[in-house]
Copies of this chain bind each other. A is one copy, B any other.
């Protein structure tokens, strides 16, 4: 027991006292915990009857009160919903794990239904022995489990031209973070036997788009996974059931779903998804290719446009997510004044390589407007850039790889808006 508790000295009055310390007057009762109404615990009608039994829901869904915490697509973003995107409700989540049920989707020809019995994975090309694996075969190889983020290269892409989307779900929600279980790609390539001239692999899916991508052999042999579970259970249909590729730290488009073929070759394939798409338009109009790694990035998820402050001045938890495709997050800084002063945020736990890190900054809000930003620093020392720094090199016509510092303007009303500051 700590001395302060043992002595009966406390930090009682946190919500009201610290609000006052913040310099603002607080309306009576608005600051939170109150002396109890002796009858309040008797006013709970739910305590007078029985609830649902354990056979009510064999597989549970969120309670009806959370029906707003769902993936959302933006109707004008793509021509149709088959080749489109929806967004993880990161504004309403906490911690680091993304439940599969609300983890963003991006398909090029829709989410297909493919059974384990029908599933086959072929390895061909520059290998000693071309092979076809059944799902049952894959389960017999040594298995690993790791937590990684998967971020669409286009996440935050609307910020290149301006601040058009009002909410962290829409600006930064093309990301999820799950615990993957599977076999390493290295294991399967070893099984087929990569020939000495094999320098690249080509990966494609079973969906109509096939979504083919080239991956250097060094990455393929390093940390890629042939994954069949996410957060403990089978992948969901929309995440590539029964098998998807996991390419830690690299853009989501390479994480091929419904993975059906891996070809080993001596050069990249230069397919559609790595030439006309998923290349970066530069300020001078040229395009840069092979920009696979998702650089260090962060965003404040609350308060944010979808999560206004509703309680008046005083303590408020500023929280968000940080990640880097080059390794672990080492530090996150937060500012409430648009970058004039930065404060080191508290990481919920030490950063893990290529996985989301949750940060918290416990702030006492004085009730005046704020310009909220967060800035991630990864283990390589890389510092998340400003939007101006990115535009200097890349211009404003890019779509992909925007990892700029994001700004939320929190007004005195507690409402927040996506803004740019110079």
Contact = CB atoms under 8 A, between A and B. Distances in A.
Interface in A177-218: 179-181, 186, 189-196, 206-208, 210, 217-218
A35 B118 contact: no
A241 interface: yes
A86 interface: yes
Nearest to A4: B190
Given A81-B55, A94-B232, A99-B232, A189 B5 contact: yes
Contact of A34 (B72, B131, B221, B349): B131
A314 interface: yes
A28 interface: no
Given A112-B51, A133-B32, A60 B191 contact: no
Contacts of A145: 94-96, 348-349, 358
A238 interface: yes
Contact of A50 (B33, B99, B208, B210): B208
Given A36-B130, A63-B113, A99-B233, A210 B47 contact: yes
A392 to B, nearest CB: 34
A80 to B, nearest CB: 7
A401 interface: no
A237 interface: yes
Interface stretch (A271-279, A282-290, A315-323, A333-341): A315-323
Contact of A71 (B13, B58, B81, B143): B58
Contacts of A4: 190
Contacts of A100: 60, 99
27 contacts: A5-B221, A11-B191, A12-B129, A12-B191, A15-B137, A34-B131, A35-B129, A44-B120, A44-B260, A47-B112, A47-B210, A50-B109, A53-B84, A54-B71, A54-B86, A54-B106, A54-B107, A60-B237, A93-B232, A93-B233, A94-B143, A94-B181, A95-B180, A140-B315, A141-B315, A141-B317, A144-B348
